[in-house]
Amino acid sequence: MNDLEDDRADYGDRAEAVLDRGGLDALVRALKRRGRTVIGPTVRDGAIVLDELDSADELPHGWGVELEAGHYRIRRRPDGAAFAHSAGPQSWKTYLHPERVRQWTVDRHPVDGPTVRAEEPRIVSYAFLGVRPCDLRAIRILDRVMGGGRHRDPDYVSRRTGAFLVAVECTEPGATCFCVSMGAGPGVDAGYDLALTELVDASGHRFLCRSGSEEGAAVLAELPRRSADEAVRAAASRVVREAAEHMGRSMPPVDLRSLMRDSLDAERWDDVTSRCLSCGNCTMVCPTCFCTTTEDVTDLTGDHAERWRRWD
């Protein structure tokens, strides 16, 4: 286990309850009362994107997506579901590992000479609402690379430590989703503080909510809720199972590490490169890409300079 891993994996006394839509809004309020910045999906500019939420009303209720290779469209749903969409064009990496981070500044004084000031990590207490199982897996990879070992990234650690994760099990995968073949969904098993399974059927609109940490259980205890019965548990299990059965794609059972190592000179890479526009979209959408470069900038006087780290 690396330094960022906590009691979520081994937490045993798990609470479970059923929330209605009002309970979902109460969840957002409870997290904000604890001083957390709540980030979740919302509709903006013709897409379902991640942004800061003030209430659960800002979630994409009644919106779904059409997703295929090279195609993305949002569409209206008749059921008012909040999370019946596949992962969107962003990932949580945007908040844990931002695109640009200033590392230090230097000012030149005519008498005292240059003064260098290291940039202190920005302390943000995040609550991520709507984290998909595949996103949980991606965050664990970033934890291992940027939060573990000898070369920990202090900015990442400051943002990641203590982040409250509300996972949502997938009930409607996209045509390009393949989490089942990777053992990464559509259900969640660990790495969350709270997990939601959304149900919209003849019995109404509700969420089976279960805790995965002590803090998750404490937050759940603050919410208006009712006990979960076997009918709700069976319905939640069924919608996740059906999502697994309707997965759009699957990865072949191969050793990807060996495949990549042994195909470095394949003509396929030249084909991809010939069509690359250097737009950077692959870096933006990949939930685990952590490659960075540095850039130095100075003002017109030459007396002030800054160093920034940015995605490469």
- According to the model, what pLDDT value does residue 14 have? 81
- How far is the C-alpha of 141 from the C-alpha of 132, rounded, in Å? 14
Give the pLDDT band of residue 232 (cuts 50, 70, 90).
Answer: very high
138-184 pLDDT per residue, tens:
999 999 999 988 889 888 999 998 899 999 999 988 888 888 888 88
| Higher-pLDDT residue of 76, 9 | 76
> Is the model's pLDDT at 13 over the cut of 70?
no
Return contacts of 102-108, CB within 8 angstroms, 24+ apart. Answer: 102/306, 102/307, 102/308, 102/309, 103/294, 103/307, 103/308, 103/309, 104/306, 104/307, 105/304, 105/305, 105/306, 105/307, 106/304, 106/305, 106/306, 107/303, 107/304, 108/302, 108/303, 108/304
- According to the model, what pLDDT value does residue 1 have? 37
pTM for the predicted model, two decimal places: 0.89
45-89 pLDDT per residue, tens:
999 999 999 999 999 999 999 988 888 899 999 899 999 998 777
Residue 141's alpha-carbon distances to 7, 85, 109, 244, in angstroms, are: 17, 24, 44, 23
| Portion of the chain with pLDDT greater than 70, in percent | 96
Give the pLDDT band of residue 10 (cuts 50, 70, 90).
Answer: low
> Is the model's pLDDT at 7 over the cut of 80?
no
Query: Across the chain, what does the average pLDDT equal?
Result: 90
- How far is the C-alpha of 211 from the C-alpha of 120, rounded, in Å? 33
Q: Does 114 sit behind a cis peptide bond, omega within 30 degrees of 0 on the bond before it?
A: no
| Higher-pLDDT residue of 67, 28 | 28
Q: Where are the beta strands (DSSP E) in 172-303?
A: 194-201, 204-211, 292-298
CB neighbour burial string for 121-139, b if at least 16 within 10 angstroms, e if fewer: eeeeebbbbbbbbbbbbbb
Q: Which residues pair with 57 in a beta bridge?
A: none
Residue from 40, 38, 34 nearest 59 by CA: 40
| pLDDT, average across residues 224-252 | 92
- According to the model, what pLDDT value does residue 11 have? 53
266-278 pLDDT per residue, tens:
999 999 899 988 8
- According to the model, what pLDDT value does residue 196 have? 97
Distance of CA 193 to the CA centre of its chain: 14
Q: Which residues pair with 127 in a beta bridge?
A: 38, 164
Cβ(146)–Cβ(290) below 8 Å: yes
